[in-house]
Structures are given as structure tokens and as C-alpha cells.
Amino acid sequence: MALLEIKNLTLYIDTGDDTTVKALEKVNLTLNEGEIRALVGESGSGKSLVVRCIIGAIPDYWSIKADRITYNGQDLLNMSYEKRRQIMRREIAVVFQEPTSSLDPSVTIGEQIEESIPPEFIDKGWFWEKNRQRKQIAIGLIHKVGIRDHARYLNAYPHEIPKDVSQKIMIAMALASEPKILIADDSTRGMESTTKTQILRLLVKLNKTKKLAILFVSHDLLAITSIAQSMTVLYCGQTVESGKTRSLLKRPLHPYTKALLDSAPSFQVSLAPKSPLVALDGTIPTLQHLPAGCRLGPRCPNARKECVQVPAPRSIQEHTYSCHFPLHMPEKLSTKPPRMAQGLTATSYEDD
Amino acid sequence: MTKILSVKDIRYTHTVKRGVFSPLQVFELGPISFDMHSGETIAIIGNNGSGKSLLAKALAGAISIDSGTIEIDTEAKHAQAVRMILQHSKDALNPALSIGSILTQTLTLNTQLSEHQKREKIEETLVRVGLLREHYYFYRHMLSDGQQQRVALARALLLDPKIIVADEPFAALDPSVRSQTINLILKLQKELGLGFVFISHNIGIVRHISDRVLVMDKGKVIEQGPTKDVFIDPQEPLTQKLIQSHFAMVEKHFANL
């Protein structure tokens, strides 16, 4: 069953001068129980915006429109503030980008971890017993994420510890409330391969032993393909393709997914050293200058006239894509009237 | 293939003083020796805190080494022959100045060119790195990540260097922009015979574009050799670990197919 489900999420950002931009447009995302799903996209594609919409950390000048955002069947959008906070505190945990800047520089690591333990977990009577129990839990947590030398780190300040350790500390803090979902926002950015493997192994272990569902937000394809069972590719605020990692890797249907996979030199077997890599021209457009229709349009190698319309998502065996002219597909088949993704009707895709 | 750089037994000691009574933290770099030929790419890999960035700075002349020699086969000054691209190209550009003035500064400080010649040189370089002449008037915030990286590259190329040293040039870039930058560097290398020294965590890229690899640990080069040999038969445990952890992930990828 879907633990977290997002249907047609559109995020409007008010730019001030009576205009709004659609930072996210009709994003669909489902996270099933005990699944690791990767949310892939380059910077500026709105990955972190999706995360912020889920946790509800949204400033006043943003507004959300969505068919639904549900957690475990409960509607997160029409929920009272307290109830939502409760869920965010106990059920969904987020590890933010840049651990060194998300940790409080003026407080020791130990205190920060202890702070993140919910009060319900402390059942001892007197305050000294409570403090000791809290400390025990904190030590247990950082052992769990693979740091053995707890004495050294609990009394340290964030600037004194290496980046990969602070990443693990952030994961430990997220795990303190024993959540059902862990959202890891770019956890392996800028790490060398040995520490990266450690973090990934830790996430897989948590997923296996605790049935923790993980939304792994990243653009590191190597990391994603080694841990995620399914992935959703985001480009410029639109979901371009989603499905099982295996089928996406085997047969990417969207040109963008293909370009993304081709950009990793390790994935190509017959690539001569120093030969030029395949890359799309140009860069991801800024929010002020979004192209109409399919936002890959100007960069897409097989863009045509039809691409100024937003393509409706179609799906073949849980592999959903949004493209008028998908790869690996005979022309006739792809121009047939679209078979709608599950639960969607044609009317919901007409322009609003 | 002519030898353009020879580094002999360079040493550098970096001391950090934390508090009045706490002991000095000493980091020793070197001794390090290696040679470089024209058109060659050398990759430096290693764990965090192994002195990779210090070595890059020492090569570029940003820190003065304690002993040893860095010889470059050129009449130009060291600072002109070896140019550096900094880790965060975005933060290395002054937001208050236009790209033109940023690049002009480099020329004013290092050459005797007239205003007109400077202007010509800058425009020529901008075009070479795949930007437009009009970008002369642009400011940092008007450019995308990839374009900023190109400006950083243009600044390095402006003085016609023999060698470019880059500290994690690809880490902050997105996959598609990264491929574009790699292609650009490969192209420039072919055209100008540049030597390219870079630090990277991305073993896939190291394998793809480098001719030789230096593996560093605790300030020492523990292993060096042609990329192919190092990747096929790594000698040191650390190298093996770095390479294996990368290939373990690649294998998982292919297992998925």
C-alpha cells in the first residue's frame, strides 16, 4: 500500500509583481511501505521543493494545489496544524541537505541528539534517571548509524567533526523518533566513494531491518541505482518518468532519463577513455523563463511541434512517462490516444 | 610528449593553533615527486583530509612550499603558467563585478596589454569556452551553474597557461552540465596541449579522463601510475578500497539490467 502519495502537486510561487511561477507542475509521487524510492533530478529541478511540500515547510508566498497529498490514508493538506506537526514529529523524518549547516553550531552533538528524542520514550521517574536514559538512547542511536566512538562525538561541536560523520549524526537524529518514512535530501553529495558506500549501506540496512521507507533525493545515479528499487525522475518541476529502477535503466522512455543515464561514464561499457560524453545542450532553465508545455522542449533532441503541450502521463506496467515521442517505441503506438495512468481521468489533465 | 612539469620532493607543513594551551595540530605534506607531460591529465584521489587540496594549491603557487622544487618548462612566471580553478566556481566570482571586469583584473595584474588588446583577448577566450562575446557585460547571478564554471575556466585560460589545476571542478555540477564541462576540457586539451591536474571523488570520471592517477593518504602519495594499471591492479589497501567501493556500485547497476 502507498504510504505516501502525491497526486498532481502544483506549487505556485508568487514573484511579487502580480505574477506567479509554477515551480512544480503536476508532480506525482508514491512511496510504498518498506520501499526505497529515489527522487532524481538536477539542481533546480524542484527535488527539494517536493520535500518541503511534504513536510509543510512553506512560506506565505508559496501556494500549493494538489489532488491529494496523503500519508497512510490521511490527507495532509486538510489536516489541523497540530495533527500535522504530530505526524512530522513522529512518522516522517527528514535529513536535510548540507549536514554541517543544518546542525546547530553552538550546541554539542550529544545535546542535539537528546533533544530530538520524543518525550514519550523516556519512562524513568526522577530527572537524573531521565537524563541518564536520554543519554543511553542517544548513545544507542549513534551506535546504530555505525559510529563506535561515541564519547568522542557526543561532546563535540558540529564544526569539529568530519562531514560524513555529521551526515550520520543527522540520520541518527532522524531515527530518534522511530519514523516510518525517512526523507534523505542529497545525503551523499560531495563524498568520496568509501564513505558514500557506508552511508548507502546504512540506509539499506535500516530499510531491511526496520521496514523503513526511504525517499532518497539525489542526482548521484550511481548511488541511486545501487540502492533504490524504484525511481522518479524530475525535470524542472515536472515528473518526466517513474517506475522500477530496473525497467528505467533497461529501457528509459523519456529522452531526459536517457541523457541522465548517459552522463555517467561508469555506466557505459564500450566508452573509449577521453572520448566525449553524450550531453544535452544548454542548461536547466530558470523559474523566470520556463518554456511552455514539456519543459525539456528546447533541449530535447527529438522535440516537435506537439511538445508545446504538456504531455499527459501514460503508463505501461507501472512504468509511467510523460512524453509525446517516447524512445524505444514505434511511432504509431506512441501517437495513439494515451492510456491514462491509474486513477486519472482525461479531464483532470486539461489546462486549469 | 615533452615534459612540462617536474615536481621534486616538495614538502609543506601546515600547523593549526586551536587554543592557547591546546597542542599544535601539525599536518605534513610530502615529500611528493612526479612528472607531467604536455597534454596529460593527472587525477588526484584520496580520502578527505589527505592533503589533496594542499597539493593542488602548492602546484598553483597559492602556498609557498617549505622545500623541494616545482619546475615548469616555460619562460613565463609560475603564476601564469599554472592556473587554478577553485572548488566552488560560483563563490569565486565577485557578484558585484561584471564578468568582463573580473577577467580584466586578471589581465591587468599579470600582463602589459593595452585596453583594446585586453578586450580582444577576453572575448576570444569567452568564445573558446563556449560562451558569447556578450557575456562580457553579464553579472554572476545572470549565469547558470554551467556558465559560471565556464567563466572560471575562461579565467584560468586567459593567461595561456601550460597547466590547469582544478580542485573538485565537477563536484558541484549536475550530471548534464558535468558532461558538457568534461567535453569542453577534453576539447581544449586537444587544441592547446594543456596539462590538467584535477582532484575528484568521482572515480568514474577519473577513470574516463585521466592518464595518470595519484592516490594520496595522510599527506603522502601512496600510489601513482597510469590510470589503467592502477585500476586493474591497485597495490595499496586504500586504493583497493576506493576503487572497489566504486565498482561495487557499478556492478549493482549492471546487475539491475
Query: Which of A134, A157, A175 is the C-terminal boundary of a domain?
Result: A175
DSSP state of A313: P
Q: From the list A226, A260, A265, which residue is nearest B253 (CB)?
A: A226
Residue range(s) defining the domain that contains residue B234: 41-66+74-256
pLDDT tens per residue across all 352 residues of chain A: 688 899 898 988 888 777 888 888 888 888 888 899 999 888 778 888 888 888 888 888 888 888 888 888 888 888 888 888 888 888 889 888 777 778 888 999 999 999 889 888 888 788 888 889 999 999 998 888 888 888 888 888 888 888 778 888 888 898 888 888 999 888 877 677 787 888 888 889 889 988 899 999 988 888 888 888 899 999 888 888 998 888 888 888 888 888 888 887 777 777 777 787 777 777 777 777 788 888 887 888 887 888 888 888 888 888 888 888 887 766 555 454 554 444 444 444 444 3
Contact A265 B168 (CB under 8 A): no
Q: Are residues A19 and A150 in the same domain?
A: no
Query: Is A115 domain-assigned?
Result: yes
Q: Of B174, B240, B197, nearest to B61 (Cα)?
A: B197
Asked if residue B2 belongs to a domain, the reply is no
CB contact under 8 A, A283 and B241: no
Q: How many other C-beta atoms are found inside a 10 Å radius of the C-beta of residue A294? A: 26
A334 and A281 housed in the same domain: yes
A205 lies in the same domain as A278: yes
On whether residue B126 sits in a domain, the answer given is yes
State whether A330 and A307 are in the same domain: yes
In a domain, B218, yes or no: yes
Evaluate whether residue B24 is within a structural domain: no
What is the spatial distance between Cα A175 and Cα A153, in angstroms, rounded to a whole number? Answer: 17
Contacts of A222 in chain B (CB under 8 A): 204, 246, 249-250, 253
Which has more pLDDT, A145 or B101? B101
Q: Taking 90 as the threshold, does the pLDDT of residue B176 lie above it? A: no
The pTM score is: 0.80
According to DSSP, the residues that pair with B223 across neighbouring strands are B215
Residues A267, B250: C-beta atoms closer than 8 Å: yes
Interface size, chain A vs chain B, as Cβ–Cβ contacts under 8 Å: 120
Higher local confidence (pLDDT), B22 or B53 = B53
Can you give the pLDDT at residue A272? 75
Give me the mean pLDDT over the B38-67 stretch. Answer: 87
Question: What's the CA gap between A231 and A221, in Å, rounded?
Answer: 10
Report DSSP letters for A72-136, one per residue.
TTEESTTS-HHHHHHHHHHTEEEE-S-HHHHS-TTS-HHHHHHHTS-GGG---SSHHHHHHHHHH
Q: Do A133 and A211 fall into the same domain?
A: no
| Domain-ending residue, one of A147, A175, A203 | A175
Q: Looking at beta carbons, which residues of chain B come within 8 Å of A279?
A: 176, 179-180, 183
For residue A97, tell me if it sits in a domain.
no
Whether residues A156 and A198 share a domain: the answer is no
Are both A242 and A215 inside the same structural domain?
A: yes
Residue A201 and residue A65 share a domain: yes
Domain count, chain A: 2
Partner residue opposite A245 with nearest CB, options B168, B180, B256: B256
Task: Please state whether the peptide bond connecting residue A59 to the residue before it is cis, i.e. omega within 30 degrees of 0.
Answer: no
Residue B191 confidence (pLDDT) above 90: no
Q: Would you say residue B182 lies in a domain?
A: yes
Whether residues A197 and B48 touch (CB distance < 8 A) is answered with no
Within a domain: residue B118?
Answer: yes
CATH code of residue B141: 3.40.50.300
B228-255: per-residue pLDDT in tens? Answer: 888 888 888 888 888 888 888 788 777 7
Do A307 and A217 lie in one domain? The reply is yes
Q: Which domain holds residue A120?
A: 103-175
For B194, phi and psi rounded to 5 degrees?
A: -70, 145
B107-159: pLDDT as tens digits: 998 888 899 999 999 999 998 888 888 889 999 888 877 788 889 889 988 98
Count Cβ atoms below 10 Å from residue A150 Cβ, excluding itself.
18
Q: Is residue A212 part of a domain?
A: yes
Is the residue at B115 inside a domain? yes
Q: Which residues of A touch B253 (CB under 8 A)?
A: 222, 225-226, 249, 266-267
Instruction: Indicate if the pLDDT at residue B98 is higher than 90.
Output: yes
Distance from CA of B252 to the nearest CA of A (A): 5
If interface means Cβ-Cβ distance under 8 Å, which residues of chain B face chain A? 41, 45-49, 144-147, 168, 171-172, 174-180, 182-183, 186-187, 201, 203-205, 207-209, 227, 241-242, 245-246, 248-250, 252-253, 256-257
In this structure, the answer to whether residues A58 and A189 fall within a common structural domain is: yes
Q: Minimal Cα–Cα distance from B21 to chain A, Å?
A: 17
Total number of domains in chain B: 1
Which of A129, A153, A175 is where one domain is finished?
A: A175
The pLDDT assigned to A331 comes to 59
The whole-number average pLDDT for the span B22-32 is 81
Do A55 and A156 lie in one domain? The reply is no
Span B1-13, average pLDDT: 85
What is the residue whose three cell numbers read 528505467? A248
- Measured CA to CA in angstroms, residue A80 lies from A53, A180, A220, A293, B137 at distances of 16, 20, 36, 35, 51
pLDDT of residue B119: 92
Which CATH number belongs to the domain containing residue A303 in this structure? 3.40.50.300
Asked whether the beta carbons of residue A192 and residue B208 sit closer than 8 angstroms, the reply is: no
Residue B63, burial from CB neighbour count under 10 angstroms (0-12, 13-18, 19+): middle
What pairs with residue B14 in β-bridges?
B27
Q: Edge to edge, what strands does the sheet with B3-16 contain?
A: B25-37, B3-16, B67-72
pLDDT of residue B118: 92
Cα–Cα distances in Å, from B156 out to B115, B136, B185, B191? Answer: 19, 16, 12, 15
Q: Is residue B135 part of a domain?
A: yes
**Residue A130 lies inside a defined structural domain of this protein:** yes
User: pLDDT at position A348, please?
Assistant: 40
